[in-house]
């Protein structure tokens, strides 16, 4: 029920208002009464009434001063003023000071009930609206995230729908312009989550989010866009730019700055933490965000080439400065890693000699063809082991090995733990 405070220096007026109307039948209750503004102020501060019915002319503190004191106290009670004939100047001043209505004495019950009911309905309506917007503010981050998920999943493609949502959610994106997607992933997040205290893990995620905004140019330096955490330890940046320079190259440089910032965090427990970043090709319209996202995911998945703490673009898969044959060989590994492939079979596909291919790998990547193949297979194995439906021997076969014991030895050599230990860590 809504509450009412009655303020009038005439006892009979207060008694009449209190006793001649069955307020509960209309959804109200009288929580107090006072004979002057001074007494009423204390009651109002104590009880926070929804509605105050007050006289204008009272001893000690009149209605106008009482209203001013209510405002100073930060109370938002709706005020209905009672005034006599000849007090219209007071009534006008009361309205100017925030009274929602005034009634002439003597007040008819029907008029009072009608006025109070209208004020009560307005209070409820305003509260519902306020609660709606307060709830909206609470839910807004989740609503924004869901829209962006719909965008990258290709579930919303109509330009008009996208524009309407961008405007409604006040996202710093436009439907036209050059778009890129960047994926930032904490390497081996599930293991990290097991090893770090919850508070430290949350601080790490906040640090990455903060520096990603700074270093990737979302602070007004070349790019506009929005970054959100799609999954724990995996951030998606949808970036747009109107600059004529190569946006991929610019983002790649900014990502290197991000690595430097994270490296400067002098905390021993975070010294072995690494991240991998994938950058999509630029696309001319926001409707291609889904394709852009797939490219960034693909690029981020190529970290086995340059290693952790790497920035990989979809265009070069991490080997932009490498010989064309190396790029083709890497693509061959990524496509055929589950098969019984060797440097010889790859060289045959590329129409070059095996010795020349092995020379290129060593010279340009600093590792052998077989090292690159093993790294790719182990990375894929780690992904598969996160799916509880696969047994270790099945993962072994899916990534190109027939000997589970040998696979386990390689896995431990590269990751520092056996497949069984890895599964236990992430489960």
Task: Read off the pLDDT of residues 158-211 as tens digits, 9 standing for 90 and up.
Answer: 888 899 999 888 888 888 878 889 988 887 788 788 888 888 888 888 888 888
- C-alpha to C-alpha distance for 240 and 36, rounded to whole angstroms: 63
Torsion, Cα 17 18 21 27, to 10 degrees, reads 110
For the segment 362-375, what is each residue's pLDDT rounded down to a tens digit? 887 788 999 989 98
User: Of 267 and 85, which is predicted with more confidence?
Assistant: 267
Q: What is the mean pLDDT of residues 280-308?
A: 76
pLDDT over 70 at 297, yes or no: yes
DSSP, residue by residue, 306-333: T-SSEEEETTTTT-TTS-HHHHHHHHHH
| Confidence bin at 426 (pLDDT 50/70/90) | confident
- The domain segmentation of the chain, as residue ranges, is 2-128, 153-321, 329-427
Query: What's the pLDDT at 170?
Result: 87
- C-alpha to C-alpha distance for 180 and 225, rounded to whole angstroms: 10
Q: What is the mean pLDDT of residues 392-421?
A: 93
pLDDT over 50 at 320, yes or no: no
pLDDT over 90 at 311, yes or no: no
DSSP, residue by residue, 177-197: EEEEEEEEEETTHHHHHHHS-
Rounded to a whole number of angstroms, the CA Rg of the chain reads 35
pLDDT over 50 at 306, yes or no: no
3: enclosing H helix or E strand: strand 2-7
The architecture CATH gives domain 2-128: 3-Layer(aba) Sandwich (3.40)
For the segment 24-83, what is each residue's pLDDT rounded down to a tens digit? 999 999 999 998 888 999 999 999 999 999 888 888 887 788 888 888 888 889 999 887
Which alpha helices (DSSP H) does 36-108 contain, by range? 37-47, 63-72, 88-96
User: Of 328 and 120, which is predicted with more confidence?
Assistant: 120
pLDDT over 90 at 269, yes or no: no
Q: How far apart are the first and last CA of the chain?
A: 52
Between the ranges 269-278, 314-323, 377-386, where is the mean pLDDT highest? 377-386
- The reported pTM is 0.56
- Domain at 329-427, CATH from 1.10.10.60, 3.40.50.150, 2.40.50.140, 3.30.1240.10: 1.10.10.60
| Confidence bin at 90 (pLDDT 50/70/90) | low
Mean pLDDT over the full length of the chain? 84
pLDDT over 50 at 227, yes or no: yes
Q: What is the mean pLDDT of residues 125-152?
A: 88
278: enclosing H helix or E strand: strand 275-279
- Domain at 153-321, CATH from 3.40.50.300, 3.30.70.270, 2.60.120.10, 3.40.50.10860: 3.30.70.270
Query: What's the pLDDT at 284?
Result: 86
């Amino acid at each position: 029920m809504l509450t009412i405070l009655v303020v009038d220096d005439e006892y009979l007026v207060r008694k009449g208002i209190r006793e001649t109307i069955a307020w509960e039948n209309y959804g109200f209750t009288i929580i107090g009464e006072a004979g002057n503004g001074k007494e009423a102020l204390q009651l109002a501060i104590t009880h926070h009434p929804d509605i105050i019915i007050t006289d204008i002319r009272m001893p000690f503190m009149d209605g106008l001063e009482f209203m001013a004191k209510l405002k100073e106290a930060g109370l938002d009670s709706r005020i209905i003023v009672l005034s006599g004939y000849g007090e219209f100047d007071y009534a006008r001043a009361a309205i100017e000071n925030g009274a929602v209505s005034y009634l002439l004495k003597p007040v008819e019950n029907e008029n009072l009930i009608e006025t109070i009911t209208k004020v009560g309905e307005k209070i409820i309506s305003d509260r519902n609206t306020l609660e709606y917007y307060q709830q909206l503010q609470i839910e807004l981050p989740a609503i924004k995230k869901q829209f962006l998920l719909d965008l990258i999943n290709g579930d919303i493609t109509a330009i008009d729908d996208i524009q309407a949502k961008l405007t409604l959610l006040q996202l710093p994106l436009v439907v036209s312009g050059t778009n890129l997607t960047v994926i930032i992933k904490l390497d081996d997040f599930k293991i990290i989550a097991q090893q770090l205290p919850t508070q430290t893990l949350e601080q790490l995620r906040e640090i990455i989010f903060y520096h990603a905004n700074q270093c990737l140019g979302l602070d007004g330096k070349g790019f506009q866009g929005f970054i959100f955490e799609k999954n724990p330890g995996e951030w998606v940046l949808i970036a747009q730019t109107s600059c004529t320079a190569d946006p991929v190259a610019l983002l790649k440089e900014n990502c290197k700055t991000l690595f430097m910032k994270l490296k400067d965090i002098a905390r021993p427990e975070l010294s072995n933490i690494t991240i991998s970043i994938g950058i999509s090709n630029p696309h001319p319209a926001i409707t291609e965000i889904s394709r852009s996202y797939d490219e960034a995911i693909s690029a981020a998945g190529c970290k086995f080439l340059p290693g952790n703490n790497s920035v990989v673009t979809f265009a070069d898969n991490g080997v932009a400065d490498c010989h064309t044959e190396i790029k083709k060989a890497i693509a061959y590994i990524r496509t055929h890693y589950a098969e019984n492939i060797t440097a010889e079979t790859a060289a045959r596909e590329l129409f070059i000699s095996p010795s020349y291919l092995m020379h290129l790998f060593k010279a340009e990547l600093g590792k052998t063809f077989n090292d690159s193949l093993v790294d790719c297979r182990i990375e894929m194995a780690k992904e598969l082991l996160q799916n509880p439906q696969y047994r270790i021997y099945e993962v072994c076969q899916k990534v190109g090995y027939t000997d589970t014991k040998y696979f386990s030895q390689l896995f431990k050599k590269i990751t520092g733990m056996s497949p069984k230990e890895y599964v236990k860590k992430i489960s």
